[in-house]
Amino acid sequence: MPRRQTVSLVLIGIAALCIRLAPLARGDLKFQTGWDASDYIPLAQGIQHGCGFAIFDNGHCANADVSRPPGYPFFVAMMPGLRTVLVIQALLGAALCIWLGWFVSTRWGSGAGLTAAALLAADIPSIVYGAMIMSEALFQFLLTGAILLQLSAIIADELNARTAAKVFAAAGLLAAAAMIRPTGIFLPLFAPLPFVFIKGATWPRALVFGMLAFAISIAPMLAWTARNQRVAGVGTTDTDSAGILYYYDAAGVLSYATHRDFFTVQNELRRDADSQGDNSRSGSAKPGALVRESLEIFLQHPIATVVVMGRGFLLIATVPDRNELNEIIGTHGAGPFGLPPSADILIRVRNTLRSPLLTVLVLLQLVVTLFVWTGVGRAILRDGMHSKGEAPLLWIPLSLALLMLACAAGPDAAGRFRVPAVPFLAMLAGIGWFGRRAHEVSSPETAVRDFVMAVRPVVAQMEEQGN
């Protein structure tokens, strides 16, 4: 990549870092410790006090916790303080911008790479939730890093030790990501994929290596599930995801199908669960029962399920971040906090218009989102999508992006849940708008070799004339 483009990419990374560090200028961490931080911080304190994965409360260790995957609380517990967590998340976000831009540039040209890096650097949900004690930034880095390693292995000409090491390292990152967010439960399925597309890989060797990559990615999940089964009789990595499926997704479907208020339906489901002794944090929850009851509701109301989930998917793919952005910049366009995003858009619009700055930032998000999805469409329609060498490099990130969006598509859909998909969408948008074909992009080594080959005949002719 030319030096000018390299400098531009580094500058984008520096800008991304500065933007992500800016919220730390606040005198307190009230904003940064909202939402899920109320769970993560006590669990991290429990780990630091020797409680294992359990809350430390009033000088005592609570029962073993099974509500959430352990990855992010352990990450927080490793840090000397909460501000350090936020600094590390900002560094990860900036590094990911440079890594993504560099990878796209080497394959599709500097225009595509710089565009992908800039879109990720300026993504407001990534900035906002990276500045909070939330798992989005770490999950985004691990997931995107794993896929970039996989794609760089696919680009390789042969299956050698270096290529296999990249895929196994990617499997390790996928394993770590799966231990951070419940949506990572599907990630082990992606671990063996590169061996299907790597050139020169015989099927017996690819099969063995693929099984090893799958084992690396799924082993921590199986170990943690065994731990939860032992300490609480819960055969899953967490109970929180089953609760979200039941109290939000199933409640949303019932609300739509029966034309009743969402919160009324949700409260009824909670009362039913309470009457059966449901308590997800104490470990007495029955996530299997919640999942079964949710599936029964979906099957009983298939049209409502399609409508609610489809609407949630569209919202999560396009809805701008507003409430948390309002908090971080100190404007006055907040509320309503408890209302599902799809309940009353007019209320949200009126609240947003109270602040001109918030209105501009929300409109900017909508414009960027339109630009991104148009670019994604252009990338999908590229001729390269039909070539054997180009297709997996585009389909794998596209599949991950759509999967991440689909997993969070429900009545509680929000811009926050788009964060894991943003790097893949930015990559595809950069390729769609400014990407060049692989044969049009020369690596530094190729450029030097072509220069030498072009100059050699001229030098030989000059030597003959001199003689």
- Check residue 190 and give its pLDDT: 95
Q: Which of 38, 68, 39, 64 is nearest to 53 (CA)?
A: 64
- Check residue 253 and give its pLDDT: 94
Report d(CA 276, CA 452) in Å as an integer.
77
Average pLDDT of the chain?
86
453 domain-assigned:
no
The mean pLDDT of 335-344, rounded to a whole number, is 53
114 domain-assigned:
yes
CA 15 to each of CA 12, 80, 120, 330, 427: distance values in angstroms, whole numbers, following the listed order: 5, 26, 11, 21, 18
Q: Among 31-40, 64-73, 337-346, where is mean pLDDT lowest?
A: 337-346
Contacts of 197 (CB under 8 A, 6+ apart): 154, 392
pLDDT tens, residue by residue, 347-404: 667 677 677 888 888 899 999 999 999 999 999 987 655 566 788 899 999 999 999 9
CA 440 to each of CA 214, 238, 264, 446, 447: distance values in angstroms, whole numbers, following the listed order: 35, 48, 59, 11, 11
Confidence (pTM) = 0.88
Report d(CA 200, CA 220) in Å as an integer.
31
- Check residue 36 and give its pLDDT: 86
CB atoms within 10 A of CB 312: 27
Q: Which residue matches tokens 């907040």?
A: 334
- The proportion of the chain whose per-residue pLDDT surpasses 70, expressed as a percent, equals 85
Six token digits for residue 344: 């009353």
Q: Which residue matches tokens 């999805």?
A: 373
Q: Which amino acid is at 401?
A: A
Q: How many domains does the chain have?
A: 1
- The separation between CA 448 and the C-alpha centre of its own chain, rounded to angstroms, equals 37
pLDDT tens, residue by residue, 56-108: 888 889 999 999 999 999 999 999 999 999 999 999 999 999 999 999 999 99
327-351 burial, b for 16+ CB within 10 Å, e for fewer?
A: bbeebebbeeeeebbbbeeeebeeb
17 domain-assigned:
yes
Report d(CA 299, CA 305) in Å as an integer.
8
pLDDT tens, residue by residue, 264-309: 999 999 888 776 654 444 344 488 889 999 999 999 999 999 999 9
Q: Which of 230, 219, 241 is nearest to 288 (CA)?
A: 241
CB atoms within 10 A of CB 42: 18
The mean pLDDT of 119-128, rounded to a whole number, is 95
- Check residue 439 and give its pLDDT: 47
59 domain-assigned:
yes
CB atoms within 10 A of CB 253: 26
Strand 54-57 relative to strand 60-64: parallel, antiparallel, unpaired?
A: antiparallel
- Check residue 421 and give its pLDDT: 96
Report d(CA 217, CA 31) in Å as an integer.
34
Which residue did the predictor score with more confidence, 458 or 162? 162
279 domain-assigned:
no
43 domain-assigned:
yes
Six token digits for residue 32: 């940064």
- Check residue 344 and give its pLDDT: 60
126 domain-assigned:
yes
- Check residue 378 and give its pLDDT: 93
Q: Which of 237, 217, 216 is nearest to 227 (CA)?
A: 237
Helix (H), strand (E) counts: the chain: 21, 2
Helix (H, G, I), strand (E, B) or coil at 340: coil
Domain of 95, in residue numbers: 1-134
148 domain-assigned:
no
Asked whether the predicted pLDDT for residue 454 surpasses 50, the reply is no
Contacts of 60 (CB under 8 A, 6+ apart): none
The mean pLDDT of 208-214, rounded to a whole number, is 95
What single DSSP character describes residue 249? Answer: I
